[in-house]
Structure 1
Amino acid sequence: MRSDMEATRSPSSAQGEDVFPYNRRQTLATIGGILLILFLATLDQTIVATALPRIAADLQGFASLAWVGTVYLLTSTVTIPIYGKLSDLLGRKPIFLFSLLLFLIGSALSGLAQSMTQLIIYRALQGGGAGGLQPIASAVVGDLFPPRERGKWMGVTGSMYALASIVGPLAGGWLTDHLSWRWIFYVNLPPGIAALLILIQFMPPLQPARRPVFIDYPGALLVVLATVPLLLAFSWAGNQYAWLSLPIVGLLTGGMVMLVLLVLYAAYQERQGKEAIFEPGLFARSWRIFGVASMVTIGLNMALLGSAYYIPLFIQGVIGSSATNSGLVVIPLALAAITGAVVTGLSLSLTGRYKWQAVAGAGLAFLGTLLLLRLNVHSSWPDVLVAMLVLGVGMGAGQAVYTTAVQNALPDKIGQATAALAFFRQLGGTISLAILGGIVTATYMPAFHAALPATLREALPPRLIATFADPLVLLAPGETLAQIRTAFAAYGPQGAAAYTTLLNAVKSGLVQSLHQAFVASAFISVLTLLASCLLKEQVLSRRRRSSRQLGEETPALSNPSEPS
């Protein structure tokens, strides 16, 4: 092993420069295990949705079905900053293996659940493990490779998310139909256990710089108390409760109060020289990189995830695609995201610079949202395809650029900074779905009624019109629509004409409501594009920095014009 390590030292190490001595076998095995785990963790977020109706029927818990997804979102999001900080303090390997083990235990128990209550508890456990997988995986890439090489690997890891978004819905449907819904959880176990054994054997310790270890338990509690109410508020607003209802206002107010307390407490801990779970000083220390990257990450995910979420609804509801699986219609979007992530990552490694890629990615995202604004009731599949391809490349580009830039600027805080971006990415997506969902819900009914001829609106009974009050009627099974059509046909030619007019009004109302959501996405995208222009360029170094070097560095940023 010693000879392997010595063989991997660069010539500069002979001149006294300390580098990380990881041999090729360690590096490739670690990267392989990480890619597999990232795929499984992302797959778990998309594979479950297709099986929810079967789960509800089997466990007889339809009323609490939404919690199967909500509790996973809560625990996976709230633990991200905690895992990131702990990995900086205690080392990547033990924290990563712990989170993976927790994820696998939660997967196994979820497959064994005998009631909806048990499934919700086990999904919370599974999410608690998943929260450490993505941010620490990206941090490990930062540990294994010098900044110049990280870009291409960040692009590869970013492509795992897009690939899982394709496979997830398809695999979920197949496993549910041919085996059992329990296999959507069991499928994680064989590859997950194999990856766990590989990482135990080959993953380097990746120990942090020597420094006193202080676990900030009050800070971790405040993170939970600030994040959970906000996530619940944005998840429930417009669905279970109205935006201005007492539960939503109460959750938002409580979450904001806890967030202020968290910032004040963390700032006090920093002044005392202690390692806080959340460090506001990172923004002051690297505002033009970490601060801008955080803002852009939130904005990009709000604009892109929100837009991508409603594309399948437009394709199936307006264009009338026969695809019953949303995973099929977003395949071009996912493939474009993979291409954007890989190409951008390679560009980072070749040029050592990231600002122009960041601006270009944000620009493509903005262009993609503008193309969505062109969609109308007469749009065809190629119109949507072009928008998805442009949007997808913009999505993929954002996966590699900002993580690489932040890790390069904050080499002694890689775990915490990487986790912060993952946290903001998750939070931005949650906020986006709530806001855009509220826009779609609020604008559909006025647009639907405006598209109805006044004479028809007055002639038809309200109960018949109410049948079309939900645009999802366009996605109803063919038998259901056939029954509605038959009921109208009983009134003769006028009834058939009324049915067609109502259906066209639903499509018109849906297009108008989705257009308003896409307008909001475009507005967020242009703000994000402007923010990306503020990103500070800091040339990516070809050299690794060791734990000893990081421990000796001062918090000040190095000269951005030189390799750090």
Structure 2
Amino acid sequence: MANELKNDEPLDSAVQVSAIDSLAENPSPVPVVELTPKTSRGLRFWLIILSGCLVDFTTALDATIITTALPKITAAIHGEQQYVWLANTYVLASTAVMPFVGQTSNIFGRRMPMIISVILFSIGNALAGASVSSAMLIASRVVTGLGGGGIFVLNDLIICDLVPVRERSKFLGFRITIATIATIIGPVLGGALGQSSWRWVFFINLPFSGIALFIMVPFLRLKHKREPTWAKKLARVDFLGNLIFVASIIAVLFGLIMGGTLYPWSSWHIIVPLVLGFSGWALFHIHQASPACKEPSMPPLLFGNRTSVVCLFLTFVACGLLEWVVYFLPIYFQTLKAASPLTSGVDVLPFSIFYVPLAVVTGGIMSKFGKYKPIHWVGFASTSVACGLLSILDASSPTVEWVFFQLILSVGAGCTLISILPVIQASLPETYAATATGTFNFVRNFGFVWGITLPSIIFNARIDQNLHWVQDEAIRLQLRNGAAYGFAGTGAITQLPDQTMIQVHSVYASALKTLWQVAAGIAALAFILVFIEKDLVLSMELETDFGMEEKKQEKGLPVTQQ
């Protein structure tokens, strides 16, 4: 009972009185022993897991295969002026729709929203592959993003419906392994297809999503509480709240994506959408807490619970730093080590390869021992130490150093990648699983966006601040105002005169040092915040209204099915 009272889930007054009376009568309570429930995980269970892995693979492939092929695609459809939109409309659409998907899956169940999301994802890719103009491709990527956003939320949620909280990180580890395989092969495959037939960059996703649909339609049969009429279902949807949220997040993401690329950060084109977006976001949360909102898509309890609040922040930091590393670690190799973009991709393999197996191991440890705070401490401490060590790298650093530093970094990512969502869910009532998962996925994606934006601001500011170290005026012009990142991948640094090369190296080294020091500080802050998390019991009991359909219905007991 003592452990149960630590749970952040709110108790009604009757339960509180009963608990207090029980403790008064039994001053030395008997420890609660949780028994692993006997669960039947037959063929249908594993087919559902397989379909989830397939859509994880294809969404990860879609996100990474386009990175190397996009320059070729934009040239083919004459979309150079729309490059930023072509690269980011998927992120905009998928991020904005996540809380809406989480809420509606509580009303309509998981099955149909998931099938619709996979269909949208497939239609978007089919249209993208058939695109004849940049406008058509942008619209297609929006459709793909709507489907992808739904898949991200619902795939996590279906795991929650089928697996008790203590085992969820283990199954999330399986899925993240599959997705990472796609992440690794995506850029290579994208480069190859971009040179031969760029349309297959999109068409290649269709077989995987098609097989997933072929499995889902007959086997993804999940229960849910059904309303008697469609009118009552629609009345539960938070249309106003989601409209405010989507408009606000699009405005915020517009500012973050366009800032420093199409417009300077001081431009009204950036300031206005950011101010309007964050103001609208505040209005959204006011609406969620008001009596006008009958069924919130992002309930206030998510932010009134210390463990869930801390874990959402840890999610934001972990995902932001992951993107931070992915985008800026190769810059060290391309500038100070004179590596080509391809070679720099090989140089970051110590991090890319090892953090995924470590995430799977983390999931197994959480499942076996039911502990998560030590994992979070190790994860953020390793990330902070590794980023601090990366800040001391220079052009003369030996291979053993940067390999070892990346291995420490992989420990950080492996410990935090999949270990946070189950804790958020454990800190809340089971009825909040859908909205909590939708919010978690939104925060994760939002962290990815900031993981590009914040280090870019730091990097470009330091470059501009120290450009006076470079005596060659022509080179200074090629590096200022955000151009240094792209310049790093051209290989032009190796062609510079020795004296100018040393000066340029100094500018890049200074910018990277500051960038990694800030990352180390952010990870250290996350480490401290882990102390605020409560020690909750990660239950082995599965209590949900959304599990798999029973094959037989007991006589006299109605079962609501989808």
Aligned to 1:431: 450
1 CA distance for matches of 2:355 and 2:318? 13
The AA in structure 2 aligned to 1:381 is: T
Is 1:333 the counterpart of 2:351 in the alignment?
yes
Aligned to 2:303: 283
The C-alpha deviation readout for 1:195-219, integer Å capped at 9, x for no partner, is 1110112123242587964011111
Aligned to 1:108: 126
| Match of residue 279, structure 2, among 244, 257, 264 | 257
| TM-aligned CA distance change 1:464 to 1:155, over 3 Å | closer
| TM-aligned CA distance change 1:325 to 1:222, over 3 Å | farther
Aligned to 1:237: 259
Query: How is 1:317-356 mapped onto 2 (pairs within 5 angstroms)?
Result: 317-324=335-342, 327-356=345-374
The C-alpha deviation readout for 1:347-390, integer Å capped at 9, x for no partner, is 01100222211222122221221221121222233322222222
The AA in structure 2 aligned to 1:236 is: M
The C-alpha deviation readout for 1:227-275, integer Å capped at 9, x for no partner, is 111111111222222222211110111011111110111101xx46721
**Larger mean Cα displacement after TM superposition, 166-175 or 372-381:** 372-381
2 CA distance for matches of 1:353 and 1:132? 30
- Contact 2:298–2:436 (8 Å) recurs in 1: no
The AA in structure 1 aligned to 2:281 is: L
Is 1:513 the counterpart of 2:511 in the alignment?
yes
The C-alpha deviation readout for 1:374-423, integer Å capped at 9, x for no partner, is 21222233322222222222223222211111222332121211121111
- Contact 1:102–1:128 (8 Å) recurs in 2: yes
1 CA distance for matches of 2:167 and 2:451? 32
The AA in structure 1 aligned to 2:431 is: D
Aligned to 2:208: 191
Structure 2 gap segments, 5+ residues each: 1-34, 548-562
The AA in structure 1 aligned to 2:367 is: S
1 CA distance for matches of 2:475 and 2:521? 37
Instruction: Tell me how far 1:21 sits from its aligned partner.
Output: 7.3
Aligned to 1:475: 489
Tell me the SS of whatever aligns to 1:243: coil
| Match of residue 217, structure 1, among 212, 228, 239 | 239
Aligned to 2:218: 201
- Contact 1:363–1:529 (8 Å) recurs in 2: yes
Q: Structure 2-normalised TM-score?
A: 0.85
Query: How is 1:352-371 mapped onto 2 (pairs within 5 angstroms)?
Result: 352-371=370-389
2 CA distance for matches of 1:77 and 1:61? 24
| TM-aligned CA distance change 1:320 to 1:409, over 3 Å | same
Aligned to 2:559: none
1 CA distance for matches of 2:526 and 2:178? 24
**Larger mean Cα displacement after TM superposition, 301-310 or 256-265:** 301-310
Query: How is 1:336-415 mapped onto 2 (pairs within 5 angstroms)?
Result: 336-410=354-428, 411-415=430-434
Aligned to 2:541: 543
The C-alpha deviation readout for 1:1-60, integer Å capped at 9, x for no partner, is xxxxxxxxxxxxxxxx9x897641111001111011112112211110101111122111
| TM-aligned CA distance change 1:36 to 1:113, over 3 Å | same
The C-alpha deviation readout for 1:452-510, integer Å capped at 9, x for no partner, is 4xxxx3xx6x3365356554444325xx678x66xxxxxxxxxxxxx111122112211
Query: How is 1:12-31 mapped onto 2 (pairs within 5 angstroms)?
Result: 23-31=41-49
Structure 1 gap segments, 5+ residues each: 1-16, 486-498, 550-564
2 CA distance for matches of 1:347 and 1:436? 33
- Contact 1:84–1:136 (8 Å) recurs in 2: yes
| TM-aligned CA distance change 1:350 to 1:21, over 3 Å | closer
1 CA distance for matches of 2:546 and 2:190? 47
| Match of residue 301, structure 1, among 300, 312, 319 | 319
Instruction: Tell me how far 1:328 sits from its aligned partner.
Output: 3.4
Give the percent of matched residue pairs that are identical in Structure 1 and Structure 2: 27
1 CA distance for matches of 2:341 and 2:238? 49
Query: How is 1:413-492 mapped onto 2 (pairs within 5 angstroms)?
Result: 413-450=432-469, 452=470, 457=471, 462-463=473-474, 466-467=477-478, 470-471=483-484, 472-477=486-491
2 CA distance for matches of 1:449 and 1:191? 52
| TM-aligned CA distance change 1:418 to 1:402, over 3 Å | same
| Match of residue 198, structure 2, among 139, 157, 181 | 181
1 CA distance for matches of 2:65 and 2:292? 45
1 CA distance for matches of 2:454 and 2:39? 48
- Contact 1:20–1:544 (8 Å) recurs in 2: no
- Contact 1:340–1:394 (8 Å) recurs in 2: no
- Contact 1:143–1:206 (8 Å) recurs in 2: no
1 CA distance for matches of 2:452 and 2:488? 21
- Contact 2:317–2:523 (8 Å) recurs in 1: yes
- Contact 1:156–1:341 (8 Å) recurs in 2: no
Aligned to 1:496: none
The C-alpha deviation readout for 1:138-160, integer Å capped at 9, x for no partner, is 11111111122212112222333
1 CA distance for matches of 2:187 and 2:80? 20
Aligned to 1:13: none
Aligned to 1:274: 294
Tell me the SS of whatever aligns to 2:419: helix
**Larger mean Cα displacement after TM superposition, 465-474 or 525-534:** 465-474
Structure 1 consecutive aligned stretches of length 4 or more whose deviation exceeds 4 Å: 19-23, 208-212, 467-470
Q: Structure 1-normalised TM-score?
A: 0.84
